[in-house]
Amino acid sequence: MNITVRVWRQADPYANGKMAIYKVDDISEHMSFLEMLDVLNERLTLRGDDPIAFDSDCREGICGMCGLVINGVAHGPLQTTTCQLHMRSFKDGDTIDIEPWRAEAFPVIKDLVVDRGAFDRIIQAGGYISAPTGTAPDSHATPVPKRDADRAFDAATCIGCGACVAACPNGSAMLFTAAKITHLGLLPQGQPERYSRVVGMVAQHDDEGFGGCTNIGECTAVCPKGIPLESISRLNRDLINALTHGGSHWPKAAPVREEGVEEEPVV
């Protein structure tokens, strides 16, 4: 295949970027998209030009590092990660636009590499459980209903790639945050911090400059792991419960106190 790529080049976080055009000839249709970029970089290096900076690690669809906007779509034409996209998804002679994730909370470091540290800070704000140290507990010590285990596992497949943010017109990271809330909130081990978790993670999400969710659904359309919008409903239910009832289990709400009315002593 012979293709042309138009790639976002930006020397550093403060420089003005622009699209640069490169012809890439003799590409195999069996190459992954990242291998095509490797070939282009090899050619750029050999002729003394600065190679294009882009992120990748596992190249197996599991680490979430390889986010690129390809022809205006996060991860490109297939609902998968960029590393799992192959050149056979394009046609000989195509011109392909390649840009970094676009979101205020993901500043560009160089070319196609963005800083996704905001996701780490959201996790630090609550995406964990407290577990006693010591020897491993018996595997059946804490029974988990099969349905909950399956749904928690599905939510845990979120790889933190950030495609949901890049696709959202609001630049919201609610799908990512909701996947973590759902994963831990469905398991017994996640219950002690369930409500402080949702408050902390959503506060950090907002502090990082991510936008709010308005149920547009672009996030789920590009999510390579199929995290559903329903997870955001679950996050919202936990958040409302935490903020209004201090985390008592929905819908068993704590009594609403009226202005000026003394609370009945608990007997």
Position among 1, 63, 144, 216 found at the interface with ligand FES (CB under 6 A): 63
Query: What binding mask, one character per residue, do residues 205-234 give for ligand SF4 by CB under 6 A, x or -?
Result: ------------------xxx-x-------
Tell me how many residues contact ligand SF4 (CB under 6 A): 14
Distance CA 164, CA 142 (A): 33
List the end-to-end C-alpha distance of the chain, in Å, as a whole number.
78
The answer to whether 206 touches 149, Cβ cutoff 8 Å, is no
Helix boundaries (H) for the chain: 33-46, 117-124, 146-156, 163-167, 174-185, 194-207, 218-222, 230-245
Tell me how many residues contact ligand FES (CB under 6 A): 12
Does residue number 161 form part of the binding site for ligand SF4 (CB under 6 A)? yes
CA-based nearest residue to 80, from 99, 67, 98: 67
Query: What binding mask, one character per residue, do residues 70-109 give for ligand FES by CB under 6 A, x or -?
Result: -----------x-x--------------------------
Which CA distances in Å does 84 have to 30, 66, 223? 11, 10, 13
Token readout for 23 is 């012809």
Does residue number 229 form part of the binding site for ligand FES (CB under 6 A)? no
Closest approach of ligand SF4 to the CB of residue 70, in Å = 15
Position among 10, 56, 204, 241 found at the interface with ligand FES (CB under 6 A): 56
Closest approach of ligand SF4 to the CB of residue 129, in Å = 19
CA-based nearest residue to 27, from 112, 94, 115, 104: 94
Binding site for ligand SF4 (CB under 6 A): 158-164, 175-176, 179, 223-225, 227
Binding site for ligand FES (CB under 6 A): 56-59, 61-66, 81, 83
